């Protein structure tokens, strides 16, 4: 099986192989880590994961600004919009780079605004995975059809109440038990008062660095809410799809 690797340099003496795994797992599935004293080689299952890892050059891990380089040229595979798209729960590699960057920030890692802009630029150049867009659109429409009505989206429905006031947005959430029915981060996010913004963040390439910071706050708040013991039995939200390492 082919693997795609990156070379990581300037590691802190305290950085462990587990810390490297936690950090780079946000990019996608890791097949191997070969660590030496201050360097490491990280191999991924998919080329898109290696491309995401390269985006992190200059990021901070254990207090050091690491370098991420590669001897290979990693380019995302070309998708064909006209080909049938199977709707499935997205893998980490399917996510927009801006969304992955937001996950890093939400978990306490430090990424410069230059890296965040790099993520935005990659999304603009490569486009966003049709699998990921199909998944979110299906989720939005299926929830809308089931809870609101024919040809309705849940994000648009909740947004109409947001426009009328935050109190009304909370009412529609309580009426349909949207948050309690959420089975993953994206269901919960689209069903929230900021659902329309979340949908646009993950399905369009028109983003700014501030948008990534805002999404990071939403992810962090959702994670904190899921850790708070509920007053009544409520299904817990599933992780967003990447590990939850300790803050650096």
Please tell me the total count of domains within the chain. 2
Does 40 share its domain with 127?
A: no
Does 102 share its domain with 216?
A: yes
Does 107 share its domain with 203?
A: yes
In the DSSP assignment, the letter for residue 241 is S
Does 45 share its domain with 122?
A: no
* Interstrand relation of 4-9 and 64-65 (parallel, antiparallel or unpaired): unpaired
Which of 48, 70, 92 lies at the terminal end of a domain, its last residue? 70
pTM: 0.78
The predicted pLDDT at position 232 comes to 41
Which of 70, 101, 116 lies at the terminal end of a domain, its last residue? 70
The predicted pLDDT at position 240 comes to 55
Long-range contacts of 162-169 (CB under 8 A, 24+ apart): 162/193, 162/194, 162/196, 166/193, 169/193
Burial of 170 (0-12, 13-18, 19+ CB in 10 A): middle
Does 114 share its domain with 63?
A: no
pLDDT tens track of the chain, all 248 residues? 568 999 999 999 999 999 999 999 999 999 999 999 899 999 999 999 999 999 999 999 999 999 999 987 767 766 655 555 455 677 899 899 999 999 999 999 999 999 999 999 999 999 998 889 988 888 777 765 555 554 466 565 555 554 544 555 555 555 555 555 556 788 888 877 788 889 899 999 999 999 999 999 999 988 887 775 544 433 333 345 555 444 44
Does 63 share its domain with 92?
A: no
- CATH code for position 34: 3.30.70.330
Does 147 share its domain with 104?
A: yes
Does 31 share its domain with 55?
A: yes
Q: Which domain holds residue 38?
A: 1-70
| φ, ψ dihedrals at 213, nearest 5° | -60, -40
Does 153 share its domain with 228?
A: yes
The predicted pLDDT at position 188 comes to 81
Burial of 75 (0-12, 13-18, 19+ CB in 10 A): exposed
Does 21 share its domain with 86?
A: no
Does 22 share its domain with 93?
A: no
Does 65 share its domain with 86?
A: no
The predicted pLDDT at position 113 comes to 97
Long-range contacts of 156-159 (CB under 8 A, 24+ apart): 156/196, 158/191, 158/192, 158/193, 158/195, 158/196, 159/193, 159/195, 159/196
């Amino acid at each position: 099986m082919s693997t795609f690797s990156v070379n990581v340099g300037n590691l802190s003496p305290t950085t462990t192989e587990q810390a490297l795994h936690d950090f780079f797992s946000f990019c996608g599935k890791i097949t191997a880590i070969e660590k030496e004293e201050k360097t490491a080689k990280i191999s991924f299952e998919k080329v898109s994961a290696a491309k995401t890892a390269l985006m992190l050059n200059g990021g901070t891990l254990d207090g050091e600004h690491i370098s991420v380089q590669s001897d290979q040229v990693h380019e995302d595979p070309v998708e064909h919009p006209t080909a049938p798209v199977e709707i499935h729960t997205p893998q980490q590699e399917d996510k927009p780079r801006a969304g992955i960057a937001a996950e890093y920030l939400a978990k306490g890692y430090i990424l410069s605004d230059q890296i965040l802009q790099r993520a935005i630029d990659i999304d603009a150049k490569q486009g966003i995975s049709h699998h990921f867009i199909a998944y979110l659109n299906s989720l939005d429409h299926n929830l809308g059809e089931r809870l609101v009505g024919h040809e309705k989206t849940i994000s648009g429905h909740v947004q109409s109440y947001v426009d009328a006031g935050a109190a009304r947005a909370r009412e529609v959430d309580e009426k349909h038990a949207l948050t309690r029915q959420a089975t993953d981060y994206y269901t919960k996010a689209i069903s929230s008062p900021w659902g329309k913004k979340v949908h646009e963040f993950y399905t369009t390439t028109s983003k700014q660095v501030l948008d990534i910071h805002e999404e990071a706050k939403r992810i962090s708040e959702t994670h904190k809410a899921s850790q708070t013991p509920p007053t009544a039995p409520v299904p817990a939200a599933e992780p967003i799809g990447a590990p939850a390492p300790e803050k650096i």
